[in-house]
């Protein structure tokens, strides 16, 4: 047994050594390479939002190193497929593949996606890299992979910040053409001549502190009727829908039209501005030029460098003054104030016909 473990260790070290050499190989060749983006569920959460953050990091790596396609590799341990967290307690080795479909569309939100790879074991991923390392620049780094660092804060503090300082902007996260075209048709059919304002709501029994105040949202939307030519497109899960929204003439509930996660993300991308909870799919608007207002993000502000504070609003160092997080609870008055502030900034003509 001891000799077997030693041999396994030697083989793994050999595989990882070939991984570590991939960056040097990339520097010596003129051949177009791909980026291999690794999402390791042993260290990163089973989360749409975190996958979208990795996607943005991948777009930066692709631009920085002048690469071609991005291959997305998701790797998990079949015996322990997700990081220990009460939020993922329902996901075990038997149910993992059943739950995987709830996050996998986030891996597809990349116009430069090449291959989508799924590895049920780290040794399989490492063998793949050993066999293909000359094709790839690999991210995260070998050190981050081996140490199983949680990379959320590294992305914001290092990857995003450094790219913004060097370039003055971040790559805009965009859906692929087919789903973006679908979103345009959806807005044309269900929003028409009104201005589309996307809204993500949240109701999760496991973490009620981040849930939406539905009474406040309904009151706010009622107050907008007749005042603003806006239509609120609500994006949320079926279990999060409050039937009272359906009685409002200025509301469209996306799930009433059978939308998938990929379609929901495309709707968030296509609206004129966004409001709602800082949860999962809403991560996409952080990497867009549109005005947004996100409530109740579960983030440690002390760990994010360069946060800009303006009264009760917070924003990322690469965000505009109209792209804010608010950690206060929603009220009809607060929602109206933030909506009006963003609405007044729109360059489109929002005035009603004379």
Note whether 58 and 52 are within 8 A (CB). no
Residue 162 belongs to a domain? yes
CATH code of the domain in which 103 resides: 3.40.50
178 class by beta-carbon count within 10 Å (0-12 exposed, 13-18 middle, 19+ buried): exposed
Query: 3-class DSSP state for residue 131?
Result: helix
Residues 93 and 212 in one domain: no
120/247 same-domain check: no
Question: Quick one: average pLDDT of 313-331?
Answer: 94
The answer to whether residues 228 and 162 belong to one domain is no
Say if 18 falls within a structural domain.
Answer: no
In this structure, is residue 14 part of a structural domain? no
User: pTM score, two decimals?
Assistant: 0.88
Q: Is residue 15 part of a domain?
A: no
> How many other C-beta atoms can be found within 10 angstroms of the C-beta atom of residue 321?
12
Residues 115 and 261 in one domain: no
Q: 182 and 121 in one domain?
A: no
Domain boundary among 167, 186, 208: 167
Residues 139 and 198 in one domain: no
Among residues 167, 195, 228, which one ends one of the domains?
167
With contact defined as beta carbons under 8 Å apart, do 267 and 233 qualify?
A: yes
Find the mean pLDDT for residues 125-151: 95
Tell me: the pLDDT tens digits for 258-302? 999 999 999 999 999 999 998 889 999 999 999 999 998 888 888
* Same-domain status, 110 and 159: yes
User: 100 with 76: CB under 8 angstroms?
Assistant: no
Say if 184 falls within a structural domain: yes
Do 338 and 202 belong together in one domain?
yes
Q: What is the pLDDT of residue 8?
A: 53
* Statement to judge: residues 286 and 141 lie in one domain: no
Alpha helices in the chain (DSSP H): 2-20, 22-28, 48-65, 96-100, 122-132, 142-147, 152-154, 161-167, 177-190, 214-224, 261-270, 332-343
Write the DSSP assignment of 308-337 as a string of letters: EEETTEEE-TTS-TTEEEE-SPP-HHHHHH
Mean per-residue pLDDT, 2-14: 50
Structure confidence at residue 299 (pLDDT): 83
pLDDT at 16 (0 to 100) = 57
The boundaries of the domain holding residue 117 are 30-167
Residue 200: half-sphere exposure toward Cβ, Cα within 13 Å? 26
Residue 232 sits in the same domain as residue 288: yes
Is residue 258 in a domain? yes
Q: Which residue has the tokens 């450094």?
A: 162
Residue 188 belongs to a domain with what CATH number?
Answer: 3.40.50.2000
Please check whether residue 59 is in contact with residue 173, taking contact to mean a CB–CB distance below 8 angstroms: yes
11 occurs within a structural domain: no
Q: Is residue 64 situated within a structural domain?
A: yes
Domain boundary among 110, 136, 167: 167
Q: Are residues 142 and 237 part of one domain?
A: no
| Structural domains in the chain (count) | 2
- No. of H helices and E strands in the chain? 12, 12
Residue 19 has pLDDT above 90, yes or no: no
139 plus 181 within the same structural domain: no
Closest CA to 267 of 279, 280, 254, 258: 254
pLDDT digits (tens, 9 = 90+) for 209-238: 778 899 999 999 999 999 999 999 999 988
Q: How confident is the model at residue 352 (pLDDT cuts 50, 70, 90)?
A: very low
Here the tokens at position 127 are 């063998």
Residue 22 has pLDDT above 60, yes or no: no
Interatomic CA distance for residues 46 and 25, integer angstroms: 32
């Amino acid at each position: 047994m001891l000799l077997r473990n030693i041999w396994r260790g030697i083989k793994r070290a050999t595989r990882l050594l070939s991984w570590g050499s991939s960056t040097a190989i990339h520097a010596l060749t003129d051949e177009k390479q791909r980026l291999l983006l690794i999402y390791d569920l042993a260290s990163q959460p089973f989360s749409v939002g975190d996958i979208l953050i990795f996607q943005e990091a991948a777009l930066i790596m692709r631009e920085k190193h002048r690469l071609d396609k991005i291959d997305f590799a998701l790797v998990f341990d079949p015996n322990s497929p997700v990081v220990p967290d009460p939020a993922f307690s329902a996901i075990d080795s038997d149910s993992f593949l059943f739950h995987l479909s709830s996050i996998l569309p986030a891996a597809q939100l990349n116009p430069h996606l090449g291959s989508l790879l799924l590895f049920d074991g780290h040794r399989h991923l490492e063998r793949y890299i050993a066999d293909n390392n000359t094709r790839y620049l690999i991210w995260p780094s070998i050190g981050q992979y081996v140490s199983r660092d949680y990379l959320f804060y590294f992305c914001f503090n290092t990857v995003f910040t450094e790219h913004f300082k060097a370039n003055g902007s971040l790559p805009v996260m965009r859906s692929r053409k087919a789903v973006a075209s679908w979103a345009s048709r959806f807005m044309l059919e269900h929003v028409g001549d009104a201005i589309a304002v996307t809204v993500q709501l949240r109701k999760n029994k496991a973490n009620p502190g981040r849930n939406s105040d539905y009474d406040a949202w309904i009151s706010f939307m009622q107050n907008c009727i007749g005042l603003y030519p806006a239509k609120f497109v609500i994006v949320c899960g079926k279990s999060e829908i409050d039937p009272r929204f359906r009685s409002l003439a200025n509301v469209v509930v996306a799930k009433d039209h059978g939308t998938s996660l990929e379609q929901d993300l495309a709707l968030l991308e296509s609206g004129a501005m966004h409001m709602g909870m800082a949860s999962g799919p809403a991560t996409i608007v952080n990497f867009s030029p549109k005005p947004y207002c996100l409530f109740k993000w579960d983030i440690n502000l002390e760990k994010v460098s360069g946060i800009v504070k303006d009264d009760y609003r917070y924003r990322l160092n690469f965000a505009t003054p109209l792209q804010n997080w608010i950690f206060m609870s929603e009220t009809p008055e607060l929602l109206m104030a933030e909506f009006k502030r963003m609405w007044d900034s729109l360059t489109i003509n929002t005035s009603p016909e004379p």
